[in-house]
Every structure is written in C-alpha cells, then in structure tokens.
C-alpha cells in the first residue's frame, strides 16, 4: 500500500506530523510498535505530572493544612490508587489521540518498522512481516529511550529507569537517583513527598546542570531544606547487591562515601531510539548518535525526514510538535517560521518548579553582551503570600545596549505557566520599555515578571 506520508512513531512529533499531513490533504499512515502517544504520553510527560499533582496536594496539606483550617493529622497515602490515577489519565488521553487518528482518516499500523531502500517499509510483529508499505515521504519520529551504562547493572527491579518508576507496586523506603536533570528532579520531589528517603547523585558541579547558576543554587537549598540529600561533583565507582539492599561506593567532592538504598533510579538522560530500524542500510547520515537533518528536517537521503528526539535539537515534547508541523508544511511547500531554538521554554515540574528561556547570565556574558539583570522574590508578591507559596524568584536578563530580552529564569510555584509570557514577548522582540508599559493584573504571579524587569532598570516599586 502506498501513502503520501508515512510517519514512524506516534509521540508528540509523530502524531502531530500525521494529523497536520492529513489536514493538508495527504494520504497518511503512522506506524507505532507500542501505544499511541509514545513515551511522552505513556511513560513520561503526562503520567509524571499526574503523580506530581498528588505530591503537591499532599505537601500543601502537610505544610499548610492547619493554617488553612484543614485537619491534617490523619493523612493516609493510598499509593496503588495514586499510580492507578496516573494510568487512568494516560488512558483518557490515548483515547483522545485515537479519536484524532480516526477523525483525520489516518491509517494506524501497529508493529515495528524496518526501513528499506526506495522509500519502502516492512512492518513486523512478533518477528513476522505483517505488511509492506511505501510512501513519497517518510518521517522518522521514533523518539528516545533511557540512556543506560552497563556498569549500573540495570535490571528493571532494583535498578530502574523512569518507566519502572511510574509503576512500582509499593513505595520504597529509600531511593538513590542518579542524575539531576528534569527526570531526576521530578521523581526526587515525588518520592520525597510520599515519604521516601531520597538521595541525588550528580556528576556535574550543580543540580539542574543546564540551568542558571542562581536557580540551581536555590533549588539545592530548597531540596536540602525539605530533606532531599544531594551530592554534586560526584560519581559512582561501584554497586553491590546484598539481600535486597544496594550498596554504592561514591566518589564525592568531600571524599569517598558508602550509601545504602532499596532502589536506584537511573536518570542520566536519553538517547535517540534509532537502533534496528534500517537507517544504516538505506544510508541515512548519523553523527554522535543523532540523525543529521537540514533546516527543513530533510536527511541526506531524498524523501526521508527526521524530527523530535532523534535529531540534535532540545529533547522536549513541545519542540518535537513544532518540528512536526514545520516539517509537514515544508513538504507541502508552505511558508512557515523556522524555530528559534534559543526561544524554547524549558520546564521542570518539581517543587519548586523551574522554568527558563533564552540565555543564562553566564551565557550572555560569554556572548559578549553588556547586560542588565533584575530579580524579584515571590516573598515580596501579594499573590504568593496569600497562597502561602513564597519560595523562589524571577530573574530577567536584558542587553543594556539594545534593550533586547536575552533570557528569563524562574523558580517557584506555577512558574511553568508564567514562562509563556516571556516566550511570546521575546518572539515579538518586546523591549523592557514595552513590557513595563503593559499592565499586569493584581494580585497575580505574573506581576513578578514586571517587577523583575523594573528592578533591572532601577524602577522597582515593591523591592
């Protein structure tokens, strides 16, 4: 069977690409070896946010229940029900994606794709060929898988990745999390709120290694205040198993230590899921584990494209979806905006939440900008005080010469929602003068952005 477009993978890049292609009148098929929605929906973005919602409700009641007149002395955790709720959320959204496939007339093929030359694809299930397909355009959107090093003895039971962490049958008393990117930080907060003793080991000098230094420092302070222990500039030298207990020899900045735990969550990152799909056989160029593409997501082989986590752009669901739309619209010959990867919001949904876009202060200085920096703490904001959530701050960075908004970094309650204002303002090349002339509602958390900019220019009223 021949199609105009065949998409490999149904994550945020794959299913969005297939829908946009169908909207533009192209006969479209999507091949998925597991469940519609990919890792993001089934084992990543969505179920983790469901778990974190439970965590934040629980922490809020524990911390402020008496203050708000809520009796918090008989709190009980039904952990299996918490996990079940997260899976129910996933099922609801999967049904929604399935509906969109039918609505747009997209042919869904369940199986493993194997690329062949001349834009042909074999689909296998249980190692049997269940169909041969061809397309004018083939889009590789197979996402990513956890990065695992052999020395950590991954077994899916005592040493796990995010996938197993989302469906543990019972709460561990102790967990060590290796890596403090978004996956590690979110699970650290979740398990801590459930009563698990959490320790983080990070090889880089700071938590949240790619974040602004002040944000990372504040996060470490916040986690330690909660009771989440972290070791930065640290590496694991040896792991031992003994009667269900895992012992780790860890080299830290203060010397070698030995840690014990019940579970190890391996969260050092992800790698493109491009093994065994036939890329080498058809000659697609790969560098450093990523498929090489041009600005229109075309590979070196005519008719083959790649989007999302399989290419070397930020591994974020919202990036993947925009790449999908751009890829399809370029195939169709439409004019579309190229993605400005320096204006991509990056979010961590732990508590406190983290959100950022653009340059960090260190990056801006390295680029040679003369900068103005402003900060505003939530502890000085009326809405945050009334919500009893005053942790964190907003930090803005402007170019002193041209008043360009170079970056913004936030840590605190609901900052993952606030960051969108900054993304739009930077897209429209808004200056501090224009933002300061825009009225923000009072009381609101968004006032913190206005106040931080005012602080950068010596105009702060409430600081």
Give catalytic residues, as residue numbers: 442
Q: How far is CA 210 from the centre of its chain?
A: 13
- List the structure tokens of 322: 């925009």
Contact 264, 159 (CB under 8 A): yes
Tokens 């801006």 belong to 364
The residue with tokens 């197979």 is 142
Cα angle, residue 166 at apex, residues 162 and 168 outer, rounded to 5°:
110
Give CA–CA dist 215/334, Å, rounded: 40
Q: For the CA atoms of 154, 144, 350, 53, what is the dihedral angle to 10 degrees?
A: -100
Closest among 346, 359, 345, 343 to 398, alpha carbons compared: 359
Range 96-127 burial, b when 16+ CB lie within 10 A, else e? ebbebbeeeebbbbebbbbbeeebbbbbeeee
Q: How far apart are CA 254 and CA 232, in angstroms?
A: 10
What tokens does 393 get? 């701050």
* Separation CA 411–CA 125 (nearest Å): 46
> In sequence order, which residues have a C-beta less than 8 Å from that of residue 275 and are 6 or more positions away?
none
Beta bridge partners of 346: 356
CA dihedral sign, ordered 77, 81, 86, 89: negative
Four-point Cα dihedral 322, 43, 38, 146, nearest 10: 80
Question: What is the helix (H) or strand (E) element at residue 316, kind and residue range?
Answer: none
């Amino acid at each position: 069977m021949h199609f105009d477009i065949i998409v490999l993978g149904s994550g945020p890049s794959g299913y969005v690409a297939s829908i946009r292609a169908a909207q533009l009148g192209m006969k479209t098929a999507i091949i998925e070896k597991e469940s519609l929605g990919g890792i993001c929906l089934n084992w990543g973005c969505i179920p983790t946010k469901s778990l974190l919602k439970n965590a934040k409700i629980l922490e809020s009641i524990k911390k402020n229940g008496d203050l708000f007149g809520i009796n918090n002395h008989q709190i009980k955790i039904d952990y299996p029900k918490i996990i079940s709720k997260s899976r129910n959320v996933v099922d609801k959204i999967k049904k929604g994606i399935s509906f969109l496939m039918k609505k747009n007339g997209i042919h869904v093929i369940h199986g493993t794709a194997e690329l062949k030359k001349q834009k042909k694809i074999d689909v296998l299930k249980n190692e049997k060929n269940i169909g041969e397909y061809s397309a004018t355009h083939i889009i590789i959107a197979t996402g990513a898988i956890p990065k695992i090093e052999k020395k950590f003895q991954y077994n899916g039971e005592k040493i796990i990745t995010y996938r197993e962490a989302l469906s543990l049958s019972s709460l561990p008393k102790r967990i060590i999390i290796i890596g403090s990117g978004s996956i590690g930080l979110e699970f650290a907060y979740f398990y801590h709120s459930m009563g698990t003793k959490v320790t983080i080991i990070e090889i880089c000098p700071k938590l949240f290694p790619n974040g602004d230094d002040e944000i990372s420092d504040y996060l470490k302070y916040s986690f330690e205040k909660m009771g989440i222990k972290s070791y930065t500039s640290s590496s694991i030298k040896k792991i031992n198993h003994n009667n269900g207990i895992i012992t780790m020899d860890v080299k830290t900045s203060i010397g070698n230590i030995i840690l014990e735990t019940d579970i190890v969550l391996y969260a050092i990152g992800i790698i493109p899921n491009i093994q065994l799909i036939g890329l080498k056989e058809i000659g697609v160029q790969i560098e450093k584990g990523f498929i090489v593409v041009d600005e229109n997501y075309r590979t070196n082989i005519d008719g083959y494209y790649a989007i999302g986590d399989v290419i070397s752009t930020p591994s974020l669901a919202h990036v993947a979806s925009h790449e999908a739309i751009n890829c399809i619209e370029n195939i169709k010959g439409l004019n579309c905006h190229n993605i400005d990867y320096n204006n991509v919001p990056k979010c961590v949904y732990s508590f406190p939440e983290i959100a950022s876009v653009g340059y960090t202060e260190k990056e801006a200085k390295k680029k040679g900008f003369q900068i103005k920096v402003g900060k505003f703490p939530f502890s000085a904001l009326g809405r945050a005080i009334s919500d009893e959530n005053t942790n964190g701050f907003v930090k803005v960075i402007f170019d002193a010469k041209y008043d360009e908004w170079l970056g913004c970094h936030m840590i605190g309650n609901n900052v993952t929602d606030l960051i969108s204002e900054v993304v739009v303002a930077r897209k429209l090349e808004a200056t501090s003068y224009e933002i300061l002339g825009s009225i923000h509602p009072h009381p609101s958390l968004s006032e913190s952005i206005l106040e931080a900019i005012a602080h950068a220019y010596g105009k702060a009223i409430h600081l």
